[in-house]
């Protein structure tokens, strides 16, 4: 066989190589799309689980200490002044993970009447060593959007993960979760621009656990 015929057998034309590259690109693109979605779902599930477990640990803390934990405002994971309503989850104090799936701290807002060292909240059912009472109500409100219907009221404490985009300034609902007041948003994550995750301590659940533990009458 002559040299010309050998080259025809062994080589590929530029057109053939281009076709192969296009096909290869389509295959990779078809794989990466679902893979990215799966990884995003894993991150979301990990963060939701962290928020839920942190809430349970907070209730355990309240059973032991007679109050909810105070926010971490210095970034070291430990509780700081209990006069602060907003900060980060005091992860070192609680013994929980310090970050969500995107390596960001969970923010935390609490009604300070549930964290102070004052016995009771002034409604006549104070128990020694307890910061709050059977009749206590929280001052946090959770809405479906920043100006939408109420999802939960009288909430004593709430935890927020600001998602993959952290605290984006372009979305009014994410701004509501970042402005350190007592109003928050829990919104469907399919909405463009909003990817926060919120989880709050349910007042009735908290009081019920305290009663079961004989901390409240």
Structure confidence by residue, pLDDT tens digits, 48-87: 999 999 999 999 999 999 999 999 999 999 999 999 999 9
Interval 178-204 mean pLDDT: 89
Residue 217 included in any domain: no
List the beta bridge partners of residue 150. Answer: 143
Confidence (pLDDT) at 159: 98
At 77, phi and psi to the nearest 5? 90, -5
The full 3-state SS of 136-158, as one line of letters, equals CCCCEEEECCCCCCEEEEEECEE
Which has the closest alpha carbon to 163: 153, 151, 171, 155? 171
Confidence (pLDDT) at 55: 97
Residue 93 included in any domain: yes
Residues in the chain: 217
CA distances 73 to 30, 51, 79, 105, Å, are: 45, 19, 8, 12
Residue 24 included in any domain: yes
Token readout for 202 is: 């349910």
Structure confidence by residue, pLDDT tens digits, 83-138: 999 999 999 999 999 999 999 999 999 999 999 999 998 888 899 999 999 999 99
Strands across the sheet containing 107-110: 86-88, 107-110, 157-161, 197-201
Total number of domains in the chain: 1
pTM, whole model, 2 decimals? 0.83
Residue 11 has pLDDT above 70, yes or no: no
Residue 90 included in any domain: yes
Span between the terminal Cα atoms of the chain, in Å: 100
b/e sequence 169-184, b meaning 16+ C-beta within 10 Å:
eebebbebbbeeebeb
Question: What pLDDT band is residue 2 in, cutting at 50, 70 and 90?
Answer: low
> What pairing do the DSSP bridges indicate for beta strands 183-185 and 140-143?
parallel
Residue 22 included in any domain: yes
Q: Which domain holds residue 206?
A: 3-212
Q: 109, exposed or middle or buried, with CB in 10 Å at 0-12, 13-18, 19+?
A: buried
Tokens 């799936």 map to which residue? Answer: 101
Which has the closest alpha carbon to 74: 61, 93, 90? 90
State the DSSP string of 90-138: -HHHHT--SS-TTS-PPEEEE-GGGTSSSSS-SSS---TT-SS-TT---
Structure confidence by residue, pLDDT tens digits, 154-183: 999 999 999 988 765 668 999 999 999 999
Confidence (pLDDT) at 40: 79
């Amino acid at each position: 066989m002559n040299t010309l015929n050998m080259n025809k057998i062994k080589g590929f034309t530029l057109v053939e190589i281009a076709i192969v590259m296009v096909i290869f690109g389509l295959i990779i693109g078809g794989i990466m799309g679902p893979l990215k979605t799966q990884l995003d779902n894993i991150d979301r599930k990990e963060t939701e689980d962290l928020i839920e477990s942190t809430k349970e640990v907070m209730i355990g803390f309240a059973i032991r200490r007679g109050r909810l934990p105070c926010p971490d405002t210095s970034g070291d994971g430990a509780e700081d002044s209990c006069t602060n309503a907003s900060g980060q989850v005091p992860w070192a104090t609680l013994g929980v993970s310090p970050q969500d799936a995107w390596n960001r701290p969970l923010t935390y807002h609490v009604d300070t009447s549930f964290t102070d060292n004052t016995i009771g909240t002034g409604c006549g059912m104070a128990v020694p060593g307890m910061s709050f009472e059977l009749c206590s109500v929280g001052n946090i409100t959770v809405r479906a959007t920043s100006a939408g219907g109420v999802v939960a009221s009288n909430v004593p404490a709430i935890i927020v993960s600001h998602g993959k985009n952290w605290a984006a300034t372009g979305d009014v609902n994410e701004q509501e979760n970042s402005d350190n007041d007592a109003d928050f948003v829990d919104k469907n994550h399919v909405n463009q621009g909003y990817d926060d995750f919120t989880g709050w301590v349910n007042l009735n659940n908290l009081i019920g656990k305290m009663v079961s533990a004989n901390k409240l009458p």
